[in-house]
Amino acid sequence: MTTWFSESYTSDVNFTFKVQQIYSAKSKFQKIEVFETKDFGRVLVMDDRIMLTEKDEQIYHEMIVHVPLAVHTNAQDVLIIGGGDGGALRELTRYKTLATIDMVEIDSMVPDVAQEYFPKVAGNFLDSRFNLMIADGLKYVRSTQKKYDLILVDSTDPFGPGESLFTREFYGNCYDILREDGVLVNQHESPYYKSDAREVKSIYEKTISIFPIDKLYQAHIPTYPSGHWLFGFLSKKYDPLRDLQVEQWSALDLETFYYNLDLHRGSFALPNYVLKLIDKI
Amino acid sequence: MTTWFSESYTSDVNFTFKVQQIYSAKSKFQKIEVFETKDFGRVLVMDDRIMLTEKDEQIYHEMIVHVPLAVHTNAQDVLIIGGGDGGALRELTRYKTLATIDMVEIDSMVPDVAQEYFPKVAGNFLDSRFNLMIADGLKYVRSTQKKYDLILVDSTDPFGPGESLFTREFYGNCYDILREDGVLVNQHESPYYKSDAREVKSIYEKTISIFPIDKLYQAHIPTYPSGHWLFGFLSKKYDPLRDLQVEQWSALDLETFYYNLDLHRGSFALPNYVLKLIDKI
């Protein structure tokens, strides 16, 4: 049966498209739905928010993975917080130099649904370097003894199950378990709609006091609210532009849908209104 | 009365928001509506497509004006094709070095409505350098004897009244009336939804055979389809990056909402899928 799905960007603004629902369930943490659509292919929706679409999921997953790994080319041990759909994992597994990839996902239903309905996204759960832990991300970073070179905070939004991943305590713990040249990349919400912009500001204010290097970068993700999405590059040592390893990354010869080295540089050039939001001008 | 307005991005995808209609009319060329909204302020809609919103019109207007004028800093005579809302004109009038600004707008109702309902956008129609001609853009560029340094093609979409502004003949005529260091910037549609992407390809294929320099750049415009909008920088001599006049533009000390010189450079760094669309990789 064909119906219309709407994601509310604000109480007055909706993004609406025709869907055929092929899966729906309630996990312990959230409502999970899978739709077939004409324009976006399959779409994963959690608590009424689009998590990914087959048409453009590569934009988000490439930007959260290749940006830090084109800078920190010696990274060996990676931690994904959230990311249960497997998309960031897929991009990570393309780097043969990585030794371990740990994922801490709170909701076991997410990897299960992704593997069943999104095989192109979730096709790397059997990689020998990969270790999935179904656990609370905040508790994990609070207690683990392991050190990491790269942490990806691939979370849902700052309400519901992802909420604790936007706290000062969480970021402080991440800082502690990163090696001295470690990098953290977090999905950083959108600067456009008022309540989203407030989150951008709030996340930045928390992280800038913890990480010596904290720079935002952006991507065009048409199926996320406003299409203007931000990521944070938080680092103890490496600068995302000064330390970009052009030759090393090029030598990997990775085929990408969205990312390239010019775009890497360009993505850190933010509009004035976003710079103002984070008090940079 | 509050209702919902929907812009169809495809037959299956809508962008929908709550509106109060404060103006509606049919001109000889198109339906024109003005809405009040909570999130976007006033919104100008023509033939059911958003033309501008008070919240983000500066993004489009700054990107169509400041990008060429930060490169061609000696421009004196400017032609706007379309642009009847006055937003590009407003940004142009900030350059004291410009001598004449001609606008050829086919629909006299657009400047009238803009001046009545969007005074912050359309506040510069009395600038002494400005000359408004209500005429067909294609016919004008075919017959005028005047030469220009900069042409802005600030048109509606490639169907309806704007259609002839997407023809090879139109671009050829624009080439002919540009001085030998002249620049043309055109709004270049969005690369995301299939039918829009076809237009991007089609415009590019027409212009690349006419202009020796033809480079696309992008902006985040959340109220246009997909939020990922392209512009073309078409030029006889100047390259938009190599010839960027950093010191001269900075010396103007213009306050901008979106544009800055870093972003100028970054905006030309296109994603791979857009480069593929125009056969650049």
pLDDT over threshold 90, residue A56: yes
Residue with tokens 């498209």: A17
Q: Is the CB of residue B209 less than 8 Å away from at least one CB of chain A?
A: no
Q: Is the CB of residue A39 less than 8 Å away from at least one CB of chain B?
A: yes
- Which of A35-49, A197-211, B121-135, B154-168 comes out lowest in average pLDDT? B154-168
Stretch A123-127: mean pLDDT: 98
Confidence of residue A269 (pLDDT cuts 50, 70, 90): very high
Stretch A167-177: mean pLDDT: 96
Task: List domains and CATH numbers for chain B.
Answer: 2-52 (2.30.140.10), 57-277 (3.40.50.150)
Stretch A160-169: mean pLDDT: 85
Q: Could you give the C-alpha distances from B14 to A1, A49, A162, A227, B38, in angstroms and in order?
A: 19, 16, 28, 14, 18
Check the CA dihedral B240-B246-B247-B252 and report its sign.
positive
* Per-residue pLDDT at B164: 83
* Per-residue pLDDT at A159: 78
Question: Residue A226 and residue A229: Cα distance in Å, rounded?
Answer: 8
Q: Are A162 and A199 within 8 A, CB to CB?
A: no
> DSSP 3-state assignment of A134?
strand
Stretch A12-29: mean pLDDT: 98
* Per-residue pLDDT at B142: 97
Residue with tokens 């740990």: A102
Q: Which of B59, B258, B272 sits opposite A257 (nearest CB)?
A: B272
Confidence of residue B2 (pLDDT cuts 50, 70, 90): confident
- Nearest-Cα distance to chain A for B268, in Å, is 8
- Nearest-Cα distance to chain B for A263, in Å, is 5
Confidence of residue B160 (pLDDT cuts 50, 70, 90): confident
Stretch A118-141: mean pLDDT: 97
Q: Does B12 sit within 8 Å of A14, measured CB to CB?
A: no
Stretch B20-32: mean pLDDT: 97
* Per-residue pLDDT at A244: 98
Q: What ipTM is given for this predicted complex? A: 0.97
Question: Residue B232 and residue A256: Cα distance in Å, rounded?
Answer: 24
Any idea which residues of A carry the catalytic annotation?
A: 154
Stretch A60-89: mean pLDDT: 98
Q: Does B14 sit within 8 Å of A222, measured CB to CB?
A: no
CA A15 from chain centre, in angstroms, equals: 21
Q: Does B258 sit within 8 Å of A270, measured CB to CB?
A: no
* Per-residue pLDDT at B109: 98
Q: Does B10 sit within 8 Å of A39, measured CB to CB?
A: yes
Residues 6+ apart with CB under 8 A from B79: B102, B103, B104, B141, B146, B148, B150, B151, B152, B177
CA A99 from chain centre, in angstroms, equals: 21
Q: Does B18 sit within 8 Å of A15, measured CB to CB?
A: no
DSSP 8-state secondary structure symbol assigned to residue A85? T
Q: Is the CB of residue B228 less than 8 Å away from at least one CB of chain A?
A: yes
pLDDT over threshold 80, residue A1: no
Which of these, A40, A1, A8, A57, lies nearest to A24 by C-alpha position?
A1
* Per-residue pLDDT at B159: 78
pLDDT over threshold 90, residue A166: no
Confidence of residue A164 (pLDDT cuts 50, 70, 90): confident
Confidence of residue B221 (pLDDT cuts 50, 70, 90): very high
Q: Are A69 and B43 within 8 A, CB to CB?
A: no
Cα–Cα–Cα angle for B120, A272, B100, nearest 5°?
Answer: 50
One-character DSSP codes across B109-162: HHHHHHHHH-TTTSTTTT-TTEEEEES-HHHHHHH----EEEEEEE---SSGGG
Stretch B211-238: mean pLDDT: 98
- Nearest-Cα distance to chain B for A261, in Å, is 9
Helix and strand numbers (H, E) in chain A are 9, 12
pLDDT over threshold 90, residue A162: no
Stretch A75-92: mean pLDDT: 98
Q: Which residue has the higher pLDDT, B271 or A167?
A: B271
Q: What is the mean pLDDT of chain B?
A: 97
* Per-residue pLDDT at A92: 98
Stretch B64-70: mean pLDDT: 98
Q: Could you give the C-alpha distances from B122 to B61, B83, B107, B243, in angstroms and in order?
A: 12, 10, 15, 31
Stretch B224-243: mean pLDDT: 98
In the set B77, B85, B102, B154, the catalytic residue is: B154
pTM of the predicted model as reported, rounded to 2 decimal places? 0.97
Question: Residue A107 and residue A88: Cα distance in Å, rounded?
Answer: 16
Q: Which of B6, B18, B228 sits opposite A220 (nearest CB)?
A: B228
